[in-house]
Amino acid sequence: MNDMTPTREQREAALEGMGCKRKRVEDVRFTQGKGQYVDDLKLPGMVFGDFVRSPYPHAKITKIDATEALKIPGVIAVLTAEDLKGVNLAWMPTLAGDVQMVLADGKVLYQNQEVAFVVAEDRYIADDAIQLVEVEYEELPVLVDPFKSMDPDAPVLRPDLEGKTEGAHGPRKHHNHIFNWEVGDEDETAKAFAEADVTINEMISYHRTHPSPLETCQCVASMDKVKGELTVWGTFQAPHVIRTVASLLSTIPEHKIHVIAPDIGGGFGNKVGAYPGYICSIVASIVTGVPVKWVEDRMENLSTTSFARDYHMTTEIAAKSDGTVTGLKVHVLADHGGFDACADPSKWPAGFFNIVTGSYDFPAAHLSVDGVYTNKAPGGVAYRCSFRVTEAAYCIERAMDILAQKLDMDPADLRMKNFVKADQFPYQSALGWEYDSGDYHTAMQKAMDTIGYRELRAEQKAKQEAFKRGETREIMGIGVSFFTEIVGAGPSKNCDILGVAMFDSAEIRVHPTGSVISRMGTKSQGQGHETTWAQIIATEIGIPAADIMVEEGNTDTAPYGLGTYGSRSTPVAGAAIALAARKIRNKAQMIAAHMLEVSEYDLEWDIDGFQVKGNPEARKSMKEIAWAAYHAPPPNMEPGLEAVSYYDPPNMTYPFGAYFCVMDIDVDTGVASTRRFYALDDCGTRINPMIIEGQVHGGLTEAFAIAMGQEIRYDEMGNVLGASFMDFFIPTAVETPHWETDHTVTPSPHHPIGAKGVGESPNVGGVPAFSNAVNDAFQFLGSTHIQMPHDSWRVWQAAKDLGAHG
Partner 1 sequence: MIPGEFTYHRPSSVAEAIAILASHGDEARPLSGGHSLIPMMKLRMAAPEHLVDLGGIADLKGISEDGGTITIGCMTTQHELIGSDLLADKLPIIRETSLLIADPQIRYMGTLGGNVANGDPGNDMPGLMQCLGATYVLTGPDGDREVAARDFYEAAYFTALAPEEILTAVKIPAPPAGHGYAYEKLKRKVGDYATAAAAVVLTMTGGTVASCSIALTNVADTPLHAADASDILTGSTLDASTIASAVAAAEAITDPASDGRGPAEYRTKMAGIMMQRALARAAERASA
Task: Answer yes or no: 237 catalytic.
Answer: yes
Q: Residue 185: how many CB atoms within 10 A of its CB?
A: 16
Q: Which of 131, 424, 428, 673 binds partner 1 (CB under 8 A)?
A: 131
**How far, in whole angstroms, is CA 646 from its chain's centroid?**
22
Least CB distance to partner 1 at residue 735 (A): 5
355: nearest Cα among 314, 376, 315, 386 = 386
Q: From the candidates 384, 388, 398, 585, which is the catalytic residue?
A: 384
Is residue 385 part of the annotated active site? The answer reads yes
| Main-chain phi, psi angles of 490, to 5 degrees | -170, 175
Q: Is there binding between residue 417 and partner 1 (CB under 8 A)?
A: no
Residue 124 near partner 1 by CB under 8 A: yes
Give whichever of 163 and 470 is closer to partner 1, judged by the CB atom.
470
77-63-285 Cα angle (round to 5): 20
The yes or no reply on residue 732 touching partner 1 (CB under 8 A) is yes
Instruction: Rule CB under 8 A: choose which of 11, 123, 583, 675 binds partner 1.
Output: 123
Q: Between residues 38 and 534, which has the closer beta carbon with respect to partner 1?
A: 38
**CB 711 to partner 1: min, Å:** 8
- Candidates 721, 740, 782, 784; binder of partner 1 (CB under 8 A) is 721
Give yes or no for residue 114 binding partner 1 (CB under 8 A).
Answer: no
Tell me the closest approach of the beta carbon of residue 300 to partner 1, in angstroms: 9
Pick between residue 284 and residue 799 the one whose CB is nearest to partner 1: 799
Instruction: Report in angstroms how near the CB of residue 132 gets to partner 1 at its nearest.
Output: 11
Distances in whole angstroms, Cα of residue 346 to Cα of each of 235, 340, 501? 22, 12, 10
384 catalytically annotated? yes
Using the contact rule CB under 8 A, the part of the chain among 5-13, 491-499, 538-546, 721-729 near partner 1 is: 721-729
Angstrom distance (rounded) from CA 563 to CA 616: 42
Does 1 bind partner 1 (CB under 8 A)? Our answer is no
Of residues 686, 702, 760, 779, which has the active-site annotation?
Answer: 760
Three-state secondary-structure class, residue 13: helix
CA-wise closest residue to 224 among 285, 294, 292: 285
Distance separating alpha carbons of residues 464 and 458, to the nearest angstrom: 10
Question: Does position 60 bind partner 1 by CB under 8 A?
Answer: no
- Cα-based distances in Å from 125 to 9, 131, 276: 62, 10, 21
- Taking CB under 8 A as the rule, does residue 73 contact partner 1? no
Cβ atoms of 38 and 295 closer than 8 Å: yes
Q: How far apart (Å, rounded) are the C-alpha atoms in residues 472 and 180?
A: 49
Stretch that binds partner 1, among 126-134, 381-389, 476-484, 596-604 (CB under 8 A): 126-134
Range in contact with partner 1 (rule: CB under 8 A) among 150-158, 364-372, 645-653, 723-731: 723-731
* Position among 669, 717, 745, 782 found at the interface with partner 1 (CB under 8 A): 669
Q: Is 719 in the site for partner 1 (CB under 8 A)?
A: no
Q: Residue 551 CB, nearest distance to partner 1 (Å)? A: 33
The minimum distance between CB 257 and partner 1, in angstroms, equals 31
Reduced DSSP (H G I as helix, E B as strand, rest coil) percent helix, strand, coil of the chain, to 5: 30, 25, 45
Only segment of 385-393, 419-427, 575-583, 791-799 that touches partner 1 (CB under 8 A): 791-799
Name which of 266 and 731 has its Cβ closer to partner 1: 731
Tell me how far apart the alpha carbons of residues 462 and 392 are, in angstroms, rounded to a whole number: 34
Residues contacting partner 1: total by CB under 8 A = 29
- As a whole number of angstroms, the distance between CA 543 and CA 529 comes to 17
Q: Which of 105, 121, 127, 606 binds partner 1 (CB under 8 A)?
A: 127
Q: Stretches 120-128, 408-416, 424-432, 534-542: which one binds partner 1 (CB under 8 A)? A: 120-128
The strand ranges marked E within 66-113 are: 75-79, 91-93, 99-101, 107-108
Task: Please report how close the Cβ of residue 123 comes to partner 1 at its closest, in angstroms.
Answer: 6
Tell me how far, at minimum, the Cβ of 734 lies from partner 1, in Å: 5
Q: Is 470 in the site for partner 1 (CB under 8 A)?
A: no
SS (H, E, C) 656-676: EEEEEEEEEEECCCCCEEEEE
Task: Say whether residue 30 binds partner 1 (CB under 8 A).
Answer: no
408: exposed, middle or buried (Cβ count in 10 Å: 0-12, 13-18, 19+): exposed
List 280, 342, 385, 495, catalytic entry = 385
Residue 174 interacts with partner 1 (CB under 8 A)? no
- Residue 203 engages partner 1 in binding (rule: CB under 8 A): no
Within residues 678-717, the interface with partner 1 by CB under 8 A covers 709, 713
Instruction: Out of 735, 742, 781, 787, name the contact with partner 1 by CB under 8 A.
Output: 735
Burial category of 10 from C-beta neighbours within 10 Å (exposed 0-12, middle 13-18, buried 19 and up)? exposed
710 an active-site residue? no
Output 413 or 735, the one with its CB closest to partner 1: 735
Decide if residue 673 touches partner 1 (CB under 8 A): no
Sole binder of partner 1 in the list 456, 792, 801, 802 (CB under 8 A): 792
Cβ neighbors of 336 (< 8 A, separation 6 or more) are 96, 178, 310, 342, 371, 372, 373, 374, 378, 380
User: Considering only CA atoms, which of 433, 425, 559, 445 is closest in space to residue 505?
Assistant: 559
Tell me 423's DSSP state.
G
Range 75-103 burial, b when 16+ CB lie within 10 A, else e: bbbbbbbebbeeeebbbbbbbbbbbbbbb
> Which of the ranges 385-393, 547-555, 675-683, 787-795 carries the binding residues for partner 1, by CB under 8 A?
787-795
> In angstroms, what is the minimal distance from the CB of 363 to partner 1?
44
> What is each CA distance from 375 to 270, 338, 342, 548, 723, in whole angstroms?
20, 5, 15, 49, 16
Site for partner 1 in 288-327 (CB under 8 A): 297-299
Cβ pair 559, 508 in contact under 8 A: no
CB 531 within 8 A of CB 691: yes
Q: Of 581 and 663, which has the nearer Cβ to partner 1?
A: 663
793 near partner 1, rule: CB under 8 A = yes
- Closest distance of CB 730 from partner 1, Å: 8
SS3 237: coil
- Of 393 and 799, the one with the shorter C-beta distance to partner 1 is 799
Residue 65 CA to residue 711 CA, distance in Å, equals 35
Q: Which of 248, 668, 717, 784 binds partner 1 (CB under 8 A)?
A: 668
Considering only 275, 339, 503, 729, the residue that binds partner 1 (CB under 8 A) is 729
Contacts of partner 1 in 648-667 (CB under 8 A): none
Find the shortest distance in angstroms from Cβ 295 to partner 1.
10
Selecting among 113, 237, 525, 611, the annotated active-site residue is 237
| Smallest separation (angstroms) from partner 1 to the CB of 728 | 9
796 binds partner 1 (CB under 8 A): yes
Whole-angstrom distance, CA of residue 719 vs CA of residue 376: 9
Question: What type of residue is 409?
Answer: M
Phi, psi of 209 (to 5 degrees): -140, -165
CB of 114 to partner 1, least distance (A): 16
Identity (one letter) of the amino acid at 20? Answer: C
Q: Which residues of this chain interact with partner 1, rule CB under 8 A? A: 123-124, 127-128, 131, 297-299, 668-671, 709, 713, 721-722, 726-727, 729-732, 734-735, 791-793, 796-797
Active site positions, annotated: 237, 384-385, 760
